[in-house]
Chain A
Amino acid sequence: MTHRPPSAFLEFVVRFARNRGAVLGAVIIVLVIALALAAPWLIDKNPLRIVSRPEVWPFTNPRFPLGTDSIGRNIFAMIAYGARTTLMIGIVAALTATAIGVVIGAAAAWFGGWIDDVLTRITELFQTVPNILLIMTVVAILGQKIDNITVAIGITMWPGIARLTRAEFLTLKNREFVLACRSMGMSNIRIMAGEILPNAIPPVIVLASVIIGSSILFESAIAFLGLGDPNVASWGALIGDGRTLIRRSWYICAIPGLAIMLTVLAMNLIGDGLNDALNPKLRDR
């Protein structure tokens, strides 16, 4: 985006801001990022430490604004530190998925023939296998560490990106400007990365923003099932821990779930806004 003239960027911002939902989503995400960044200053302790008696209800003790969980850990601290985990996993997993998907989709479309066949089959394979089962298997085999979980989510989320990139590349690869590059003797990689990709990327960015939301949902499900990293505060794990207490202290489950929902909601709203801003033609249709 940096090489575009500033007016194009301004136009992007204006189009994005016209979508009120997207602006709301952006505000929520900025707040979540602020919470994640400020966590060490707000609570300069290990969020997983026991600080009080268990099951203090929210809004009853100013030291624990969101109460404490089943073993007396500060829920606000875990929400703040959990925001770091959630955002990190969401963004890194989506970047991994986008990188894999773009490379595979671009290669399939550009080279065609048997390479396209094989890559399309592999894409279908990953699309058919139930994602959560693949993530569970990878995590079970590689171990319950935060980077393994991130990679596992990343390698299950790429098929959508690959299909989209392939479709975009197919429509672009026979256009005049590409033929011109070819006749000038540019290398395949240079044409693909330097000429076609910038034109193909807007819809990919929109999908990637939705994938951040889905990755967050997958991470929370894995942590909820007890397959998460035990040394990291996670919103999903907090829900899992609170399950046994739903009769008395249902707030332990409710609060982190609301946090997940708001964050994913915000990501999806931003996706809608990016769609309006980056693909104006699609929108007018």
Chain B
Amino acid sequence: MKRSIVRRLFQIISLIIGVIVMNFTLIQMAPGSLLDIMTSEQQVTDPATLEHLRHLYGLDQSPLVQLLRYTWSVFTFDLGYSYRQNAPVFDIIMAQLPSTLLLMLTSLGVAVTLGMIAGVVASVKVNKVWDVVISLAAVFFFAAPTFWLGIMLIIFFAVQLDWLPVGGMTTIGEQFGPVGHVIDVLRHLILPALSLGLFYAAIYTRVMRASMLEVFSLDFVRTARAKGLSKTRVILAHVFRNALLPVVTLLGLQLGTVLGGSVVIEAVFSWPGIGSLMLDSVMSRNYPVVLGVFVLSAVVVAIANLLVDLAYYRLDPRIRSR
């Protein structure tokens, strides 16, 4: 157990280094240098100032030295400085990360809950009406672009019915108490979490259904039934528990794409997270922030993967004995 955690930590560190090298290579490929973009925006032409800036940002050194310096600074939580926001990149990202994590985790919660319920129902009622309805819905939600689904939900629930807010994270210009504030954020969270969650719910439904059907056919299920346990008890205590494993594996594999998905959904719902920050930085070629978002999101995914591994370990005793 301890050994596997240490191994994972090593993997995370090598992963971060990999992400840094990848990004650094990408940025070296870019047509204009960081300095060109920075100075053109501020209209700096004085050669002495340019030289000073070049030295200040370490751009007068060889790419390899720059890469080593950047790698080292990442491990000391220094992701550079954003001339655009005039603040350290790490602080800028950290300020935006919680709202993205909130969206991401809520969406995953929606996806796993809906997917598990739908998958179990479909597998118990296999080839009956409910199974067909659920499987069809899963096929559709798996093919619908999340951002488009989001817009359709806005049109229906926010514009036509006026039940929920169109976008944002809080109601601007309203003062709520602490409870009112939480309810306000939750109301803003429903549509974005649904648009992102339904896509992944579709995947989990299919995996859960297939996994349940496979476990149903195993011998120990027949034994449990033969012992006289009720059908509900067999399904919940025996089949369900064992059928969960593939879902957990998938969860770990998909965290990166869920984070990516929330970036797109943030743009649809004007959700103030790292998605909007990333989009703004990409548009303005603010590479330190782009690089920082990239590195930090990889770290978040790697840590979440570690947590998924631990969950897996708890769920499946066979792994412990290995």
Q: Which residues of A contact B (CB under 8 A)?
A: 21, 121-122, 124-125, 127-134, 136-143, 213, 217, 220-221, 224-227, 236, 239, 243, 246-247, 250, 253-254, 256-257, 260-262, 264-265, 268-269
* CA of A254 to CA of B147, assembled, Å: 11
Known A-B contacts A121-B18, A250-B155; A129 and B297 likewise in contact (beta carbons under 8 Å): yes
CB contacts (< 8 Å) of A256 on chain B: these are 148
Task: Name, among A125, A133, A236, the residue most crowded by chain B CB atoms within 10 Å (CB to CB).
Answer: A133
- Bitwise interface map of B from 138 to 179 toward A, beta carbon under 8 Å scored 1, else 0: 011011111111011011000100000000000000000000
**B302 / chain A contacts, CB cutoff of 8 Å:** 128
The residues of B that contact A221 with a CB separation of less than 8 Å are 145-147, 264
In the complex, B207 has a CB within 8 A of chain A: no
Contact of B257 among A130, A138, A269 (CB under 8 A): A130
| Residues of chain A lying within 8 A (CB to CB) of residue B278 | 133, 136
Give the dominant DSSP class at B's interface: helix
Complexed CA–CA distance, A264 and B145 (Å): 9
| Known contacts A137-B23, A140-B285, A141-B29; is-contact A132 B264 (Cβ 8 Å) | yes
Residue numbers in B under 8 Å from A132 (CB-CB): 257, 260-261, 263-264
User: Which of A125, A227, A239, A246 contacts B282 (CB under 8 A)?
Assistant: A227
* B38 contacts chain A at the CB level, 8 A cutoff: no
Beyond the given pairs A128-B256, A130-B256, A137-B23, 11 more chain A to chain B contacts, judged by CB atoms under 8 angstroms and listed by A's residue number, are: A21-B139, A121-B11, A121-B15, A121-B18, A130-B298, A133-B260, A141-B26, A247-B159, A254-B152, A257-B144, A260-B145
A125 near B145 with CB under 8 A, answer: no
Chain A residues with CB under 8 A of B298: 128-130
B positions within 8 Å CB-CB of A: 11, 14-15, 18-19, 22-23, 26-27, 29-31, 139-140, 142-149, 151-152, 154-155, 159, 253, 256-257, 259-261, 263-264, 267-268, 278-279, 282-283, 285, 290, 293-294, 297-298, 301-302, 305
Q: In whole angstroms, what is the CA distance A103 to B305 when docked?
A: 27
Nearest residue, chain B, Cβ from A219? B145
Chain B, residue nearest A210 (CB): B142
- By a CB distance below 8 angstroms, the chain A residues around B139 are 21, 265, 268-269
The interface centre, meaning the residue of A129, A224, A254 with most chain B CB atoms within 10 A of its CB, is A129
**Residues from chain B with Cβ under 8 Å of A224 in the complex:** 145, 147-148, 264, 267
* A125-B22, A142-B29, A265-B139 known; A131-B282 Cβ under 8 A: no
Bound together, the chains give a CA A220 to CA B30 distance in angstroms of: 24
Residues of B within 8 A of A264 (CB): 143-145
A131-B298 Cα distance, complex, nearest whole Å:
11
Contacts of B283 in A (CB 8 A): 140, 226
Residue of A nearest to B274 (CB): A133
Query: Number of A-B pairs whose CB atoms are under 8 Å?
Result: 140
A210 to B128: give the CA distance in the assembly, Å. 27
Asked if residues A133 and B263 are in contact (CB atoms below 8 Å), the reply is yes
Chain A nearest CB from B165 CB (Å) reads: 14
How far in angstroms is the closest Cβ of chain A from B107? 14
With A130-B256, A133-B294, A265-B143 known as contacts, the answer to whether A225 contacts B152 (CB < 8 A) is no
- With most chain A CB atoms within 10 A of its CB, the pick from B30, B151, B152, B155 is B151
Which residues in B have their C-beta under 8 angstroms from that of A213? 143
- Chain A contacts for B145, CB-based, 8 A: 217, 220-221, 224, 236, 239, 257, 260-261, 264
Q: A141's closest neighbor in chain B, by CB?
A: B30
The answer to whether A136 and B282 have CB atoms under 8 Å apart is: yes
B148 touches A257 (CB 8 A): yes
Question: For residue B155, which residues in chain A have a CB less than 8 angstroms away from its CB?
Answer: 246, 250, 253-254
Residues of A with C-beta under 8 A to B261 = 132
Interface CB pairs A-B, < 8 A, 26 = A21-B139, A121-B11, A127-B253, A127-B256, A128-B302, A129-B256, A130-B263, A130-B301, A131-B256, A131-B260, A132-B263, A133-B293, A134-B294, A136-B279, A136-B282, A140-B283, A220-B148, A224-B148, A236-B145, A239-B145, A239-B148, A250-B155, A253-B152, A264-B143, A265-B142, A268-B139
B285 to chain A, nearest CB (A): 7
Bound CA–CA A246/B260 (angstroms):
25
Question: How distant is A196 from chain B, measured CB to nearest CB, in Å?
Answer: 26
Q: Is the CB of A268 within 8 A of B142?
A: yes
Q: A133-B263, A137-B26 are in contact. Are A243 and B297 (CB under 8 A)?
A: no
A253 adjacent to B151 (CB under 8 Å) = yes
Q: Which of chain B's residues have a CB closer than 8 A to the CB of A254?
A: 152, 155
Kindly list chain B residues whose C-beta atoms are within 8 Å of the C-beta of A225: 264, 267, 279
CA distance A134 to B26 in the complex (A): 10
A213 to B144, CA, bound (A): 10
Chain A to chain B: the 8 pairs with minimum beta-carbon distance, closest first:
A130-B260, A257-B148, A132-B260, A265-B143, A140-B282, A264-B143, A125-B18, A141-B30
Complex Cα gap A257–B26 (Å): 32
CA distance A132 to B155 in the complex (A): 25
- Which partner residue on chain B sits nearest A124 by CB separation? B15
Q: A121-B18, A129-B19 are in contact. Are A246 and B154 (CB under 8 A)?
A: yes
User: Once bound together, how far apart are the Cα atoms of A136 and B142, in whole Å?
Assistant: 22
Query: Could you tell me the distance in whole angstroms from the C-beta of B77 to the nearest C-beta in chain A?
Result: 20
- Min Cβ gap A1→B in Å is 27
